Each structure stands twice: as structure tokens, then as C-alpha cells.
Structure 1
Amino acid sequence: MTPSMQLLPEWAKQEAVIFAWPDLDTDWYRWLDDVRQVYLDIIQALNAANTPVLLLVKAKEVAHCKTMLPADAKVLLVPTQYNDTWVRDYGFLTCRSEQGLQPIEFTFNGWGEKFDARKDNEVNRTTLAKLCQLPLISIDLVAEGGALEIDESGHLLSTQFCLSNPKRNGDLSFERYTEIFKKALGASKVSIFEHGHLEGDDTDGHIDTLVRFTLGQGIVVQSAFNRPNDAHFVGLAALVAECKAALPGHQVFELPLPEIYNAEGDRLPASYANYLISNQHVLCPIYQQPEDELAMAIMQQAYPDFKIVAINCLPLVQQFGSLHCISMQVPENTLKADIVHRLNEGVSQL
């Protein structure tokens, strides 16, 4: 039986990617110029992949933001309010349904009430839902997009550490999570991994920093094979073993682990697995580290029919996230026709 709703994999054809513009009222204030340049680099790379950008921006920032964008950039500025820019975790997800492509949302509570996310949690209902062909569906569950990874067959991946945080959904069992993911997202199978966590990760081990699907039965895993004495080595090796057990027919691509610290001496959760797939391109984070070149070579092996584009994300990881965390893709035929038209006519504003 075909499920009534099924979450689309990231490599489905896209008509836009959503971002939220960083400003002085977000966590980026200490690195604002550098971080904004990362956003501009990503927008340029996505436009080169024929992917326009829906850019959430606070009303007071619209005029200045326009001055930073090339006039011919395929960007639609969408004024709204938000706490911060981690759109992966509060932007709507898109499912295939009998009615068409269906936007859905979970509740976002700042990764288990670690941070104020009340404005973030309202963005879909107040702003983004109006841009979609079908009405937004809200699921009564605290969950984030970065905590979920799915392939074309409906196999969904997540992590125990994230889902078991009691400040998300109390003592909700993994069995009940599985039932909800099957019903709400059309998951045919759910694998919830026990191992794998990066030091400094506020999300409690989001899957998008650890394990990603490729087309043609492959998985990319953030390993630490290159650092046998690293504190992460044992846990990430156990994660690789879990992946092989859960996905025995899949080819495993292990990524090297960089070692980066901030000015305060804290280890930063730099992951090469936190990449974004968009229209036959894979935008991959690099961190100005010795491992960058090897990581990109492995990514090309994992996605042989895609163009691999390296994006310097060293400024992003200063706030303990990376490229995938700040983005949310919108599959083709999700948005209203007039919005799609606006997206493709150069920089404009709603």
C-alpha cells in the first residue's frame, strides 16, 4: 500500500532553497561580515545550479541586504521575524501526497529548550505557508529537519541521542517515534542509531552531521578513520558499524574528521557530512583544513553524477553548525506559480 504522505529525498528536483539572512540580532554578530559572505557564496552556487533562493529577512534589513546581492541573482526576499538562521530545523518539510506536494511542520523548541525559538516556530504559519500551493499541515511532535534523513524508498534515519532528549517529547518511546514517522512522513522503515555525536553539537547528534544517503544505495558517514587517537574515534567507528548492519546492501563512504577549535579553546563540530544536495549539484562544506581535499574526493566518489562544489564554512562552524543546517530545500511544484515566477526574475521582494 502506498502511504498517503511520503517525505521526498533531498535529491528530488528543487524549485528553491530557503535561508534566513544573518544580522546583528542573531548568533552571528561576532562574525557577521564573514558569515554573510558564506551566504552570498552559497546563493551564487545555487543559482549556478539553476536553484533560486527564498531568503527570509527582517524588515529593517531588507534594504541593506539588497545592496549585497547581485541584481541578477535569483533571490526573493521574504520579510519576516525569526530568532536565528537554522532554517533546516524550523522550515517546512515537503511530502508527496495524493493532493500534490504537501508542506508539513513539526514543533521547533530550540533543540530541547536550549534557546528561545518562539519566532522560529511561527515562521511556517505566518510566512512560508502563504507561498505554497497546499495548506500547511502541523504535526504534534517536537522534531527538527536536521534530525531526519530519508531515501527514495522511504528508509528514514535518526539518532537515539537526539530523540531521547526529554525536553523534546518527554519519554516518548522509539517505537512511538517510528509509528509517527511512518504515518506523517511515509517512512517504510526507520533506523535510529545509538552511536555518533560530535563534541560541541547543540542538536544532540542530528543525523545530518553524521549519516547521509546517496542515490543508488550508498551512505556517507562522518567517520574519524584518519584520527585514531581522537576522542570521537570509537563512537564514530561504532556508528559506521551500525550503518553497515542497518544497511547491508549499501556502499559506505567514510569521511575524514577535521579538528577545529574556537578562540576559547572549544572543539567545534565540523562535519563534512553537513552538505546540501540541489539539482545535480552537491554543495559541500570545507573548513580550510588539511582534510578538505580528501573529503571532496570522497564526496565525488559518493555522488559521481553530481557536480561537487566546495563552500568555505569555517565561519559557520564558529556557531556550531554548517551548510545543511542553514538551508531547507523546496521540491518542484510546491510553491505557487507566481512565487516561482518571482524567484526567477532577479532580486525582488514580497
Structure 2
Amino acid sequence: MTNHYKLLPEWATQESVILAWPDKQTDWQPWLEQARGVYLDLIRQLNLASVPVILLVRQTEIDACLGLVPKSANVLIVAADFDDTWLRDYGFLSISNGESVTPIEFTFNGWGDKFDGSKDNGINSTVLQHLCKEAIRKIDLVLEGGAIEIDQAGHLISTALCLQNPKRNGNKSLTDYERDFTSYLGATATTIFQHGHLEGDDTDGHIDTLVRFTPNKGLVVQTAFNNPQDQHYEGLHDLLIECKSAFAQHQIFELPLPHIVNSEGKRLPASYANFLISNKHVLCPVYQQPEDELALETIKKAYSGFKVIGINCLPLVQQFGSLHCITMQVPEGVIKPEILQSVSNGVRIYE
């Protein structure tokens, strides 16, 4: 693959967003009703933004799902068997050469063999491929979608902690990763941050919990400026210094960090940076915390001209993830037109 193809930034025009429906066979079982409530709110907000949803549902759960998703919703239900619902990390990515958009997939191995991801790793080839106009290109590299972020100029960012977990790609060097990002994703520059990680984050510091680009040379950074006593303060401050050094011409927007623990007293990785950009909308996680309002106001400043909407993701962070983690956007030109047309007038089951 040549570097004529480039990974599209998240604000490129989208024709769909893919989700995987939570059910009692997933880790959502203790919070199933609450988690489904988040999904239903997310589906509603995406539809209001004129974004149809492709919803992966276990075959045995389709009837129950149909009883909860409004019949008027623009949703395509697709039968699929998966391990979990973190679609961001195993759903296909999309690259473009300016004329066509091609779906690509990497290998997913449960964030460095922490969990069984074998079913998730097969979703692209066994399920999503049938919806795409082009064949999904497979790249021989372990990589999750949440581990990378790119802007319209092709500048890609990631984190060393994630990439250098040897259970992903052995002892692959950061220099070799940079070459791969140029070759496979058309990156014109790569910055790999050495600092930043949230306690309870199984991903080893995915970039989508820490730093996000804006379309107008801005960076949204998850720091803990609101609480210098927070255990994350120093590491996130060091990340902020890295951002200012690597992106001296960018405007920096700092997000406050909430302090949330679960029923066992464990700190949860609640990041306000884990938002989804979709067709001039920014769907932001909020956690029913005092910091929510400031986080939303900061994101509104960062994404001028976008509509910013808060979605209660407190149920999601109980499983150590948030809104961006459960989604994968699909840019225009990937899905077969007849499939998109079929969901323009309400819920449909793909057959």
C-alpha cells in the first residue's frame, strides 16, 4: 500500500457509525439496563445529526433489541457474535486517496492478550465486509483504533506505553511504528507521547483518552489541572508539556479530570477526551460530576462551529471505557449505497 492513501480524520463527513449492542453475555450484565440507556441516547443523538447507525447484535438478542430501539430510528441491525462492545478497537478504519475510500483492518488481540478478543478480531471479515463496497484490506500489525489519532494534514499521534507493550508486536521499535504509520496510514509526521495514563485503563494509555486534534490546529488534552493533589496530576502535566513542545503552533485546551471510583473503591478512567466527532457534532461523555460543565464549555471552545452534546457515560466507565471506545465512524464512500438507503426510513434487520 502506498502513502497516496491517508487515514481520514474523525471530522471527515460520515455516512454511519458502528456500535455493538450490550447484552447479558458481555461484561455489561451488572449494569445492563443503564448501559443500554447510554446506547439508546447515543443512537438518538446520532440520528438527529443525520447519521444512521449500524448496530451489531447477537442473533439471540435481536428481538429484545427491537423492543427497545424506536421503530423510527435509522438503525441497521446486523447479526454478529462478538466478545465485547469496544468497537473502536476492532472495527475497520478508513483510508482515502482523494478519489475512493478503502476500509482497512489491523489485528486485535485483546489489548495485548489481556482478554480474549478472537471473536472481535473476526468481525470485519465475517460480518462488516458484507456491508462494504470494497474488500477490507488486512494489515499484519496489532493495533487498535483508539491508539491513534490523525489530523487533516496527516500528523498522527499515539503513546509509547501502548505501542511498546511487547504482547502487541513484540519488541517493535517506535521508529518501525512510525514507518508503518507512514506506509499504511499515509502519516506525514508522527508524534509518540511518552507520558500520560489513567488508572484502570486496560488499553495501556490509548491516545483517545488523552489527546485529540481539532480541525483548526488545536489540541484537546486531558489533564488534571483542576486538582493538583490528584495522583494523575504529574503524569498528565508532563503530557501537556510534550504537547506544547511538539505542537507549538497549536492552541491547547485543557480538560479537567473527575475523580470517580467504583463500588470496590477502584479509580475509574473517566476521561472527557473520549468524545466522538460526527458530522459537525461532538458527542461528549459526562459523568454526573462537578467537572462536567467545565469540560463541555472547554470542548465548545475547542470545536467552534460544532454542536456539542453531553451524554451520561457514568454506566460505561464502570467497565473502564467511555463513549469513543464503543463507536467507530464510517466516512462517506465505504458502505454499499443500497444498504444505507434501506435504513433511511426506520429500523431494518440486515439479511
- Name the TM tier (shorter chain): over 0.9
Instruction: Describe how 1:1-350 pairs up with structure 2 within 5 A.
Output: 3-97=3-97, 100-350=100-350
Is the Cα contact below 8 Å between 2:286 and 2:292 reproduced in 1? yes
Distance in 1 separating the partners of 2:266 and 2:318: 10
Distance in 2 separating the partners of 1:59 and 1:25: 12
Is the Cα contact below 8 Å between 1:223 and 1:254 reproduced in 2? yes
State the shift of 1:199 in Å: 0.4
State the shift of 1:343 in Å: 2.6
- The secondary structure found in structure 2 opposite 1:62 is helix
State the shift of 1:98 in Å: 6.3
Could you give the per-residue CA deviations for residues 182-231 of structure 1, whole angstroms, max 9, x where no partner exists?
A: 01000000100000000000000000000000011000000100010111
Amino acid at match of 1:309: I
Distance in 1 separating the partners of 2:25 and 2:51: 28
- The secondary structure found in structure 1 opposite 2:192 is strand
Q: How many correspondences in the alignment? A: 349
Could you give the per-residue CA deviations for residues 18-41 of structure 1, whole angstroms, max 9, x where no partner exists?
A: 000000110100000000000000
- The secondary structure found in structure 2 opposite 1:319 is coil
State the shift of 1:109 in Å: 0.2
State the shift of 1:345 in Å: 2.2
Is the Cα contact below 8 Å between 1:84 and 1:120 reproduced in 2? yes
Distance in 1 separating the partners of 2:31 and 2:245: 41
Is the Cα contact below 8 Å between 2:159 and 2:194 reproduced in 1? yes
- The secondary structure found in structure 2 opposite 1:252 is strand
State the shift of 1:3 in Å: 2.7
Distance in 2 separating the partners of 1:344 and 1:240: 43
State the shift of 1:177 in Å: 0.4
TM-score relative to the length of structure 2: 0.98
Distance in 2 separating the partners of 1:245 and 1:35: 39
Is the Cα contact below 8 Å between 2:95 and 2:101 reproduced in 1? yes
Could you give the per-residue CA deviations for residues 244-290 of structure 1, whole angstroms, max 9, x where no partner exists?
A: 11111100000000000000000000000000000110000000000
Is the Cα contact below 8 Å between 1:19 and 1:87 reproduced in 2? yes
Could you give the per-residue CA deviations for residues 112-133 of structure 1, whole angstroms, max 9, x where no partner exists?
A: 0000000000000001011111
Amino acid at match of 1:249: Q
Distance in 2 separating the partners of 1:15 and 1:188: 26
Distance in 2 separating the partners of 1:212 and 1:98: 23
- The secondary structure found in structure 2 opposite 1:60 is helix
Is the Cα contact below 8 Å between 2:285 and 2:313 reproduced in 1? yes
- The secondary structure found in structure 2 opposite 1:68 is coil
Distance in 1 separating the partners of 2:76 and 2:345: 9
Distance in 1 separating the partners of 2:139 and 2:242: 29
Distance in 2 separating the partners of 1:314 and 1:271: 11
Distance in 2 separating the partners of 1:327 and 1:24: 19
Is the Cα contact below 8 Å between 2:276 and 2:282 reproduced in 1? yes
TM-score relative to the length of structure 1: 0.99
Amino acid at match of 2:114: K
Amino acid at match of 1:205: G
Amino acid at match of 2:307: K
Which residues of structure 2 form unaligned runs of 5+?
none
Is the Cα contact below 8 Å between 2:220 and 2:253 reproduced in 1? yes
Amino acid at match of 1:265: G
- The secondary structure found in structure 2 opposite 1:242 is helix
State the shift of 1:100 in Å: 1.2
Amino acid at match of 1:115: F
- The secondary structure found in structure 1 opposite 2:118 is coil
Distance in 2 separating the partners of 1:343 and 1:224: 42
State the shift of 1:342 in Å: 1.6
State the shift of 1:333 in Å: 1.2
State the shift of 1:99 in Å: 6.2
Distance in 1 separating the partners of 2:180 and 2:243: 22
- The secondary structure found in structure 1 opposite 2:10 is coil
Distance in 2 separating the partners of 1:43 and 1:295: 22
Is the Cα contact below 8 Å between 2:3 and 2:184 reproduced in 1? no
Runs of 4+ in structure 1 deviating by more than 2 angstroms, as ranges, are none
Which residues of structure 1 form unaligned runs of 5+?
none
